[in-house]
Structure 1
């Protein structure tokens, strides 16, 4: 008798994620097992329960934007460009996360709260962005009254676009993400410029 194929935890999570996203939380475990080339019994032996598998497969990882924000503002690039890069990283993360949250919401788990995350990704990003903007303000590189409010506005706008795009596509989230985010950054903050010297008028 041939030995059953050995699958990794990563392969299990990827297969489960694909099936749950395609069929929703009611997807049968048999479909996941078939995708992996193993029996349903073997799959259950590895994961315990369907709920445990769903929680594991759809558990979000920390936003990649946090890695960019952690060192603080760099002197080698403009504040606007650095901020835009971090926000676009977070946009890609949210495009992945939003569909997962929909599946969890309609599952027996009762939504993302069942994942027992110490700090949900959107909250972590707000905190990281607030710290980054505060450092940019203290270094004198931006004219910004309240970094936390600016972080809330940027994250909220981005989350709304990603949510609307998932629900209704480009019709619900028209326009180019990068162009809209860049314009929003310019509305919320102004890079500080060197004071303009006033030329004295000489009398003859």
Structure 2
């Protein structure tokens, strides 16, 4: 009879998550195994490669839940409020994604040398596409004035990305800008051009 697993895959993934965030992709599987309390052989019995363990540990696939929620709101509720809620959720998700992306890019920006990039969809492009699809849906219903939804979406995603990078990479104890205030202010600027 086989012994039951004492360390779960989730525990290994959590240990790998901690080690990768501390040391980047250059972290050794030995360090991860030590943190998890297992052998390196156990790691490779459960994960085919270090890249597979990295993808599981960093959880890049968890990002973007806000997209489906926003698209489901086409034609319902108040457009501005729908956008504000979606953008706030995007900021919360992105705040968790940026450190993970920084670890991923520590391996390099060239997909031929960083195989993980080949497995990652472009989250900013997917964000802009979802936002553009929502805006196009609302334009068709007459709830948003006719506009170039792609340009509008890229502008919004660019502003949000800058905000996240500013808060993550250059944190300041003075003058920190609350995400809610930022989103409301951004919508104050954009809404006159969106309102029907």
Alpha-carbon distance between aligned partners in 1 of 2:126 and 2:143, rounded to the nearest angstrom: 24
The aligned residue for residue 126 of structure 1 is 128
Q: For structure 1, which segment, 170-179 or 141-150, has the greater mean C-alpha deviation from structure 2 after superposition?
A: 170-179
Aligned 8 A contact 1:80 1:182 in 2: no
What displacement does 1:24 show?
2.0
Moved more, 162-171 or 95-104: 162-171
Change (3 A) 1:113 1:181: farther
Q: CA deviation at 1:30?
A: 2.7
Q: Give the greater-gyration-radius structure (CA).
A: 1
Could you report, residue by residue, the CA deviation over 1:89-146 in whole angstroms, capped at 9, with x for unpaired residues?
A: 1111111111111111112785776332474222111111101011112222223522
CA RMSD, 1 decimal: 2.8
Tell me how far apart the structure 1 counterparts of residues 165 and 123 of structure 2 sit (CA, whole Å): 15
Unaligned runs of 5+ in 2: none
Residue of structure 2 equivalent to 1:27: 27
Unpaired runs of at least 5, structure 1: 193-204
Map of 1:148 onto structure 2? 150
Q: CA deviation at 1:172?
A: 9.5
Cα distance in 1, alignment partners of residues 115 and 165 from structure 2: 18
Tell me which residue corresponds to 1:138. Answer: 140
Residue 53 of structure 1 is matched in structure 2 by 53
- For the residue of structure 2 that corresponds to 1:169, the secondary structure is coil
Aligned length: 190
**Structure 2 vs 1, CA of residues 4 and 173 (structure 1 numbering), >3 Å: closer, same or farther?**
farther
